[in-house]
């Protein structure tokens, strides 16, 4: 989704309807860059039942008063009365949205499981079919914006499974509900106002502005503020329609990546082999020449020549390593999750007929639950490796503290948390 809403579990690589939760791009809020399993999310049947249940009269009155107040605010911000009538006359509070918003997945999904689905053979085949069906449009957007056609199609595939799952929630319902009763009310208020501006501009009728429960809209899941900033009229009809017009979808997606710094003609990166004794604490960017001097080699072919590149090891020293350049960072701007960006990169490679990941993943490793990560953080803090609050999220401070502990224990300091490492910490 084109938005990085930190906290709203929205559609996208991890779309709720696709049974994934993910950290969003253009402003969508998901948890700290980790791809999480959705065990415990409401089923579609339960969601519909919750939305049809009678609303408490006190809550109904409170929501209606809030809506009236926001309507006055929107009018003061320049939204026309005609647009407000079209948008707000049918808006309703959706309890299922609040249930989704407050849900905290217990398990962090291993990246290899996420990639198994995100870059499945079916998704690759469908992606090639979609590219063939829309080849002229995709190539035209590649010419205009410098973003390869297969990358545009890959984002389409991961965001909404090529349009088959972009959600059926009204974005106006979603942001009104979240602004009234969600965890990030100020954010939702801003997005609701942006959605009203889209309706006022005539890009899409209010009734057709649909997407995920978190408000990410259309084939490639833009939130309203991202739509206003990056959506493009690709078919020349005077409207930006990412729900029904594939040229608009492709142009908008490519424009977003271009504005995020996409470098035409450069690859996203490459799978690499790291030298023995590699220092995994290196988190800064270096030129390819400097990485090469450390003994890095490409798994196949030559290393891409970057002036600024970084190494990522999503599963630590036990898994594959990648040298990533500016275009990988552009994908991260779309959705700030390493798993998401790697999925887009590898799906685009597969659609184009390039090699998949060669080095194996440590599939024998059992994932840590949020409670496990909380215990790990508490143990690190107890031992003097200050990682801040114990929130159950494997963020950069936790990985830094974990690397320091591993180094002091004579272990490979890759910052990759395992059940064995948790046990070692708790017994230290």
Cα dist. 134→51, 127, 137, 218, 240 in Å? 38, 10, 5, 17, 18
pTM of the predicted structure, to 2 decimals? 0.87
**HSE-up of residue 115 (Cα within 13 Å, Cβ side):** 23
Query: Quick one: pLDDT at residue 9?
Result: 29
Closest C-alpha to 321, from 366, 290, 358, 267: 358
Q: Is there a contact between 385 and 405 (Cβ–Cβ < 8 Å)?
A: yes
pLDDT in tens, 269-324: 999 999 999 999 887 899 999 999 999 999 999 999 999 999 999 999 999 999 99
Query: Quick one: pLDDT at residue 301?
Result: 94
How many whole angstroms separate alpha carbon 416 and alpha carbon 368?
11
Query: Quick one: pLDDT at residue 116?
Result: 97
Query: Quick one: pLDDT at residue 200?
Result: 97
Query: Quick one: pLDDT at residue 107?
Result: 67
pLDDT in tens, 355-376: 999 999 999 999 899 999 999 9
- The one catalytic residue in 159, 191, 271, 310 is 159
Helix H or strand E encompassing 321: strand 321-324
Query: Quick one: pLDDT at residue 42?
Result: 57
What is the rounded average pLDDT of the residues 222-251? 97
CA–chain centroid gap for 378, Å, is 28
- The first and second tokens of residue 240, run together, are 């930006």
Closest C-alpha to 222, from 254, 257, 187, 252: 252
The pLDDT-based confidence of 423 (bands split at 50, 70, 90) is very high
Q: Is there a contact between 351 and 339 (Cβ–Cβ < 8 Å)?
A: no
pLDDT in tens, 143-187: 999 999 999 999 999 999 999 999 999 999 999 999 999 899 999
Query: Quick one: pLDDT at residue 108?
Result: 73
How many whole angstroms separate alpha carbon 326 and alpha carbon 266?
8
Query: Quick one: pLDDT at residue 274?
Result: 97
**64 a catalytic residue:** no
What is the rounded average pLDDT of the residues 417-426? 96
Q: Which of 49-53, 103-107, 203-207 has the lowest mean pLDDT?
A: 49-53
What is the rounded average pLDDT of the residues 190-199? 98
Token pair 């790291």 is found at 274
- The first and second tokens of residue 102, run together, are 């407050």
% of the chain exceeding 70 in pLDDT: 86
Query: Quick one: pLDDT at residue 182?
Result: 87
């Amino acid at each position: 989704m084109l938005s990085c809403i930190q906290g709203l579990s929205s559609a996208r690589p991890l779309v709720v309807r696709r049974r994934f939760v993910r950290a969003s791009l253009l402003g969508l809020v998901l948890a700290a860059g980790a791809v999480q399993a959705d065990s415990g999310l409401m089923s579609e049947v339960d969601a519909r039942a919750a939305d049809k249940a009678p609303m408490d009269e006190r809550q109904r009155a409170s929501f209606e008063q809030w809506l009236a107040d926001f309507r006055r605010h929107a009018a003061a911000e320049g939204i026309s009365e005609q647009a407000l009538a079209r948008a707000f006359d049918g808006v309703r509070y959706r309890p299922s949205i609040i249930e989704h918003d407050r849900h905290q997945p217990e398990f962090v999904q291993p990246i290899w499981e996420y990639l198994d689905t995100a870059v499945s053979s079916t998704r690759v085949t469908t992606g090639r079919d979609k590219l063939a069906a829309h080849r002229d449009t995709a190539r035209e957007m590649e010419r205009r914006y410098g973003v390869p056609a297969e990358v545009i199609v890959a984002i389409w595939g991961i965001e909404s499974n090529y349009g088959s799952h972009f959600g059926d929630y009204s974005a106006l319902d979603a942001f009104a509900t979240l602004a009234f009763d969600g965890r990030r009310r100020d954010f939702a208020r801003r997005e609701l106002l942006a959605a009203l501006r889209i309706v006022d501009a005539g890009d899409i009728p209010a009734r057709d502005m649909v997407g995920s429960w978190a408000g990410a809209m259309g084939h490639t899941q833009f939130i309203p503020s991202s739509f206003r900033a990056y959506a493009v009229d690709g078919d020349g009809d005077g409207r930006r329609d990412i729900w029904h017009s594939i040229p608009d979808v492709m142009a908008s997606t490519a424009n977003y990546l271009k504005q995020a710094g996409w470098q035409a003609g450069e690859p996203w990166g490459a799978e690499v082999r790291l030298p023995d004794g590699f220092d995994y604490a290196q988190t800064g960017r270096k030129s390819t020449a400097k990485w090469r001097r450390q003994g890095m080699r490409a798994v196949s072919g030559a290393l891409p020549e970057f002036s600024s590149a970084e190494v990522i090891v999503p599963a630590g020293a036990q898994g594959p390593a990648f040298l990533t350049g500016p275009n990988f960072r552009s994908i991260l701007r779309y959705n700030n999750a390493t798993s998401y960006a790697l999925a887009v990169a590898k799906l685009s490679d597969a659609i184009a007929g390039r090699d998949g990941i060669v080095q194996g993943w440590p599939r024998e490793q059992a994932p840590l639950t949020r409670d496990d990560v909380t215990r790990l953080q508490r143990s690190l803090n107890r031992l003097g490796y200050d990682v801040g609050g114990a929130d159950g999220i494997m963020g950069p401070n936790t990985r830094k503290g974990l690397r320091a502990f591993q180094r002091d224990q004579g272990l490979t300091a890759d910052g990759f948390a395992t059940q064995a490492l948790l046990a070692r910490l708790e017994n230290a």
